[in-house]
Chain A
Amino acid sequence: MKYTVDTAMVMGSVHQRALTPGQDAAVADVLPDGAFAIVSDGCSSGGDTTSGAWMLAKAAARAASLAIAENDTAFLLPEILATAEHAARAIALADDDLFATLLQAIVLRDRAVVQVYGDGVIAVGFRDGTWQFLRVEWDKNTPFYPIYYTRRKTDAFLAVHDSTSHAAVYVEHITYDPDGTARRQFCTRHTVAEGMVGLILSFDAAALRDIRALGVFTDGVASLPKISWSDVMREVVAFKNTTGAFLRRRMGRVLREYDVAPADDLSGAMVWLSSDDGGGL
């Protein structure tokens, strides 16, 4: 299996007007035995979440690399949080500097996993040309940030959402046929507890054979005027080719053609899987 990866980041107009830095981070890499794509979205009302989001994304990249090398994802979150905490304490980042979501797609030797802590969008591309998009949202616009575990903020978080069993997480599922027709749309709801553990998509070896792309995007996808989040995704994944900066080129083209700019930071990271015989796009 051959992998190509790319990330794309667009600073939201809110930050541009305010002359403040964006608060997203995006990392992707190809390793000998796999690949990963990671995004993180810092809380806009947090502290220095520009730094926090990057710290979390880089920690996740390190953890993903280890997981791929060992073909083991069992300790991903503890590894991520330990690394992020170690680095954060070294430069004295405060609690609210690390309030950020984390979405990651990791492809290992014989399986893949997509994990969402917080909100955002997942993209799954199938070899038959079908795309499935999942948008994860939280009640009260209060997503879970994984750093709550190590900064002892889970109680405060739960107080916002009433209880762990409250169905505070909405996932909108949309499937597009190869011709661009939206074939299936529905919503699922998940409890706070499930959201805190992380919403997970798993693909075993058999399922992975049908997959040609896994991508994760921050919720800035839903902040473009005049175009719905699912239409944005459908356009963004309409790649002409998947070499080099394929995601950046495509996202840039979409924003130019629609003449739109996201209000919130918009970032994406994607792994493209080609079979060794050159199959794929």
Chain B
Amino acid sequence: MPKLLKDDTVLEQRSLDGGAFTFRAARIDKLGATEYTLVTIAVDVTGSTYAFSDQLREALVSAVEACQRSPFVDRLLLRVVTFSTAAGGVREIHGFVPLADVDVAGYPVFEPDGLTPLYDAVYASVGAMAQYAEDLYNEDYLSNGIVIVITDGLDNVSQVTPAMIKENISEIRRKERMESLVTILVGINAEEYRGELEAFRRNVGIDYYVDAGQASDTTLARLAQFVSRSVVAQSQALGSGAPSQAISATI
């Protein structure tokens, strides 16, 4: 099994909400740049994704590889999680690490099963990013962020509520520890839930809902492109004082 991260990547374990969720992140004193775009990609691996899970993994790999070719790769920190009850809720493939340190060949094969803790995934993704961004801010780093959550359905089993997510996102914007935060909910094979997912987006303050269409090689390839372009766009916006204006709400 190829290694996921470089040998000298040093991570620290952190927790949110008294340990309800945990995440890992590169030690701040080991970071070389002065500013970073924090990226989280959360991927639904529930039972309903079984038919296209290999292509979903391939889309994730393509997206990460494309980001690694960005001229801004040295200021990107990437965290990747999967979510399903069978995976233990929200499960980290890796924490916030320099994108250049990631070897996508080490990404595990998805084993889709279980129910959908979508709210937990959004909450934990946003919350972990906010906490790490605060720590970076306290050490004089500038950061912005982008959270992309990819799902094929509605929540049916989370611990957290939409109100908690809404408060989470609002607090990040109030505290201004990040220059900007872009949040994107992507629906794949989720046409029948589009109305509800769009309503969830509006209720909690997620910036974009993007319908990726029916899962196929073509749509998943376009999804990979969308993810990498959005990440690169937000990293280009770092230092501008505002979120990227180049992120599209469609694929």
Contacts and interface: CB of A to CB of B under 8 A. Distances in A.
A248 interface: yes
A241 B139 contact: yes
B140 interface: yes
B140 A244 contact: no
A244 B31 contact: yes
Contacts of B34: 245, 248-249, 252
Contacts of B139: 240-241, 249
Nearest to B136: A249
Contacts of A244: 29-32
A272 to B, nearest CB: 13
Interface residues of B, number: 12
A256 interface: yes
A244 B34 CA distance: 9
A252 B140 contact: yes
A250 B142 CA distance: 10
Given A243-B29, A244-B30, A249-B141, 7 more contacts: A239-B140, A240-B138, A241-B139, A243-B30, A244-B29, A252-B140, A253-B140
B239 to A, nearest CB: 9
20 contacts: A239-B140, A240-B138, A240-B140, A241-B29, A241-B139, A243-B29, A244-B29, A244-B30, A244-B31, A244-B32, A245-B34, A249-B34, A249-B139, A249-B140, A249-B141, A252-B34, A252-B140, A253-B140, A253-B142, A256-B142
B35 interface: yes
Contacts of A256: 142
A113 B139 CA distance: 30
B33 interface: yes
A245 B32 contact: yes
A123 to B, nearest CB: 17
Nearest to B27: A243
Interface in B24-71: 29-35
A252 B31 contact: no
Interface in A226-251: 239-241, 243-245, 248-250
A16 B138 CA distance: 30
Interface in B8-32: 29-32
Contacts of B141: 249
Among B33, B138, B140, B141, which residue has the most Cβ atoms of chain A within 10 A? B140
A252 B140 CA distance: 8
Interface string B128-147: 00000000001111100000
A250 B32 contact: no
Nearest to B142: A252
Contacts of A243: 29-30
Given A240-B138, A240-B139, A240-B140, A252 B35 contact: yes
B212 to A, nearest CB: 36
Contacts of B29: 241, 243-244
B96 to A, nearest CB: 16
Nearest to B139: A240
Interface string A237-277: 00111011100111011001000000000000000000000
A171 to B, nearest CB: 30
A240 to B, nearest CB: 5
Interface in B156-190: none
Nearest to B137: A253
B121 to A, nearest CB: 32
A182 to B, nearest CB: 23
A245 B142 CA distance: 12
A245 B33 contact: yes
Nearest to A259: B241
A247 to B, nearest CB: 9
Contacts of B32: 244-245
Interface string B97-140: 00000000000000000000000000000000000000000111
A250 B140 CA distance: 6
Contacts of A240: 138-140
Contacts of B35: 252
